[in-house]
Chain A
């Protein structure tokens, strides 16, 4: 590549641009960490930027003692793990059947699925359905209705079809039923796509709060995101932190910052391990039917 002078300028500006952009992605989190670990008088005087002033872990000992936060995290882990399993079973079975030429009514089912991709019912009918199924105020309401999406079914079906048909024929010769082919050939051979869909679904399930807002009434069943919304957005934390005994060591902002980071931690911990999957997976998403 010939190195023109203008090219070098472009590369320099481009590189700088990306460094600045990356800083905007990470700096809000660093600022929160610094605030949550500072002494209250510095935080109050707005003197904390990206490094804690003074040192104070009081916020975190308070957070670690919050039973409702732990319970909410438990609920979130539960619905994420179980919800993802349900989604994978439903997605892979229907996708497998649709990928097999001998599946009766294949075209009709496939069309029926694609229709849901472009046309979906509004919020209220969905709410009334969940209610009439008796799922309101149960965790099922957060896991079952969203378990299947047309998008993932089509991605997985496309992947199954890409597996060479000789594999399937050989299994058949060896006396495998369709059920056996699904369990022993199709699934083991499509672990990358399964991991990707599991990851996408799990992230969505972990992060969503709107469904819980619609369906969950009981405090014991609130997932982490809803509790977080109540604590961080609706001033409950302020009330907690301004009770006389704590206001000297922490400000409401410090407590909010700490809670936000605490809730971000699970994602930040698993994130580096997931990266190789989701990059591959996101490009799978560009596949056409």
Chain B
């Protein structure tokens, strides 16, 4: 024992391996073993028989998935939610950072930032509670609308509003946080660029267009690529907390479906097939757009 210990501690390479070992094992067990666990999508997985004894069924679950009307509904919901949150949610922190950067008074900027970051630190349960309180039939918003003589509505149960509300709340919670990276990039821009531009007679918007935005382009590209890779991952903690039976048709996404039908309903194999489909779409998009971006802008995430 003592000799082994001595050998281990005197050899740098071995010792480094030893130091890294817990982390490596963690990655193997908790990231790679579940990837192998994907095989249950090709089985009729039975919780009691286990992976080894469950019968193999080939691609049956994938075929079922594509003939299944419910699948298109949740796929559509997921894509629409994601699309809205990319169109409206992705540029929002960038615009906010640009606007905040135009405020030169530090005494004003600091407290504003503090308040804008705050919602990021509240859990989705709390944020959900806040907005249910705000939007329900006897909630605060209806109190105000009522005093203006407008009709009372239970906003969170109206299918036409649900996606917009979901996306807006997401933006509300993360907009301040999202702008931090842009603010950091903004503070790294060489001020002499602006001085030179002003000498040449460039106004505020011309400076923004010709100096600020190009300087932010690397950050924008990387953040966008990372976002695209998660195009089919709805924020399950958010959707689950705001979803209710009245809006299930428009609000249920892949992740909440897998939780409800797969886990609570014990449809392990079918929902794993759906999960694999989701991961593959994300992977293809990231790899494809990454290659495209490397060719066009020279920026890439790997």
Which A residues are closer than 8 A to B by beta carbons? Answer: 4, 7, 10-11, 14-15, 17-18, 21-22, 24-26, 28-29, 31-32, 46, 89-91, 93-98, 100, 102-105, 109, 112-114, 116, 118-129, 144-145, 147-148, 153, 177-179, 182, 203, 206-210, 213-214, 225-226, 228-229, 232-233, 253, 256-257, 260, 263-264, 267, 271-272, 275, 278-279, 282-283, 285-286, 288-289
A25 touches B115 (CB 8 A): yes
B13 touches A22 (CB 8 A): no
A209-B23 contact, Cβ under 8 Å, with A32-B133, A178-B12: no
Chain B CB within 10 Å, residue with most, of A94, A105, A208, A226: A94
CA distance A104 to B18 in the complex (A): 11
Residues of chain B contacted by A275 (CB below 8 angstroms): 114, 117
Chain A CB within 10 Å, residue with most, of B30, B181, B255, B268: B30
A122 touches B38 (CB 8 A): yes
- Is residue B258 within 8 Å, beta carbon to beta carbon, of the partner chain? yes
CA distance A283 to B179 in the complex (A): 10
A28 touches B130 (CB 8 A): yes
B128 touches A233 (CB 8 A): yes
The distance from the CB of B165 to the nearest CB of chain A, in whole angstroms, is 14
> 8 Å CB contacts to A: which residues of B188-241?
203-204, 219, 222, 229, 236-237, 240-241
- Is residue B170 within 8 Å, beta carbon to beta carbon, of the partner chain? no
Contact of A120 among B121, B279, B301 (CB under 8 A): B279
Residues of chain B contacted by A25 (CB below 8 angstroms): 115-116, 118-119, 172, 176
A102 touches B133 (CB 8 A): no
Residues of chain A contacted by B246 (CB below 8 angstroms): none
B: interface residue count bin: 35 or more
Contact of A182 among B19, B111, B268 (CB under 8 A): B19
Contact of B204 among A7, A104, A264, A288 (CB under 8 A): A7
The distance from the CB of A43 to the nearest CB of chain B, in whole angstroms, is 10
Segment at the interface with A among B63-71, B72-80, B82-90, B99-107 = B99-107
Contact of A282 among B177, B241, B283 (CB under 8 A): B177
Which B residues are closer than 8 A to A by beta carbons? Answer: 9-10, 12-13, 15-17, 19-20, 22-24, 26-27, 29-38, 40, 51, 99-100, 102-103, 108, 111-119, 121-126, 128-134, 138, 140, 143, 146, 172, 176-177, 180-181, 183-185, 203-204, 219, 222, 229, 236-237, 240-241, 255, 258-259, 262-263, 268, 271-272, 274-276, 278-279, 282-283, 286-287, 301-302
A253 touches B108 (CB 8 A): no
A18 touches B129 (CB 8 A): no
A121 touches B27 (CB 8 A): no
19 residue pairs A–B, Cβ–Cβ below 8 Å: A11-B103, A21-B112, A32-B133, A102-B13, A112-B27, A121-B279, A122-B38, A122-B279, A123-B258, A128-B34, A129-B30, A129-B33, A148-B27, A206-B123, A210-B240, A228-B129, A256-B133, A260-B129, A271-B118
Residues of chain A contacted by B20 (CB below 8 angstroms): 93-94, 96-98, 103, 109
A232 touches B9 (CB 8 A): no
Q: Is the interface of B mostly helix, strand, loop or mixed?
A: helix
A90-B26 contact, Cβ under 8 Å, with A103-B16, A120-B31, A121-B31: yes
Closest A residue to B31 by beta carbon equals A116
A285-B181 contact, Cβ under 8 Å, with A125-B272, A129-B33, A275-B114: yes
B121 touches A104 (CB 8 A): no
A256-B12 contact, Cβ under 8 Å, with A14-B103, A90-B23, A207-B123: no
CA distance A105 to B9 in the complex (A): 18
Contact of A104 among B10, B13, B123 (CB under 8 A): B13
Contact of B241 among A178, A229, A272 (CB under 8 A): A229
B129 touches A209 (CB 8 A): no
A109-B24 contact, Cβ under 8 Å, with A15-B108, A22-B115: yes
CA distance A126 to B287 in the complex (A): 24
Please give me the 9 A-B residue pairs with the lowest Cβ-Cβ distance, nearest first: A122-B275, A94-B23, A125-B37, A283-B184, A121-B34, A97-B20, A207-B123, A282-B180, A125-B34
Residues of chain B contacted by A226 (CB below 8 angstroms): 125
